[in-house]
Chain A
């Protein structure tokens, strides 16, 4: 899959390497900004409050 994507990127080899690095960086940013905060709501090992009355 990744090999197919890499082979089908446009441009010469150096451009394809640069494009893939940009794509990887974009995926990381999306994960840190949206995916991980969303996932952390379903992993309850960081809840430090008592009771549920004051919880959202």
Chain B
């Protein structure tokens, strides 16, 4: 009797161990799966979103170039541009009305970020614009060339990392904005690191609410630090000069404009 009971228990015990072992194994595999999914998420965010956004932004520039059509023939315009003295005065800059949400305003060229740095500027700062289309224009702020503050946001990391190198700008660096009307040349002045709640950097005179603007500002906002979003890094620039589209691109970026528009 005693032996039989012992034998029965001995047979039951392995069955319980087998179930327990199976459960531990399933839990372990699920935990490993969760870990792999998190690693894949990091790879997706830091790498794959850039691949996707770069491709989409090239398309946006292509579409913008097609919309320009024959209005700004980049090929023949480039030699003309070098013939025109760069200091020539074209009068008051033309200021267009803002396009609808997600409409393309123009292209930004920042030679400090690399000779091939061309990014679309698109209306709106919602994630559908910033995550795929490029730099987003704050709808409440001025348009390029206007007296006041032309403010744009861009990702520091992920989704194209359009303003990854914003901290490398040196006072005096030129920032070129091309719209259908022409070329607006801004000169970088300073960086400013603020908390995300500082909406006053978007005022017509940055950080001075209620002041009547006399200058034409360009304000760029991005995440700070890199790979973080605890703060915002702001880059202020002032309009230096303006050229109508008919005068051709500034000589300094003639090659980049030809390359960007030539893609169309």
Contact residues of A with B, CB < 8 Å? Answer: 1-2, 28, 31-32, 35-36, 39-40, 43-56
Contact = CB atoms under 8 A, between A and B. Distances in A.
Contacts of B41: 31, 35-36, 39
B125 interface: yes
Contact of B44 (A2, A32, A53): A32
B81 to A, nearest CB: 33
Interface residues of B, number: 41
Contacts of A36: 40-41, 44-45
Contacts of A39: 41
Contacts of A52: 197
Task: State the 6 A-B residue pairs at the shortest beta-carbon distance, nearest first.
Answer: A51-B199, A49-B153, A1-B26, A48-B222, A36-B44, A1-B29
Contacts of A49: 125, 130, 136, 138, 153, 196, 221
B246 interface: no
Most chain A CB atoms below 10 A, which of B130, B196, B197:
B196
Contact of B196 (A1, A2, A28, A50): A50
A28 to B, nearest CB: 8
A31 B37 contact: yes
Given A1-B26, A48-B223, A54-B139, 13 more contacts: A31-B44, A32-B48, A36-B41, A39-B41, A44-B229, A45-B157, A46-B157, A48-B153, A48-B156, A49-B125, A50-B197, A52-B197, A55-B125
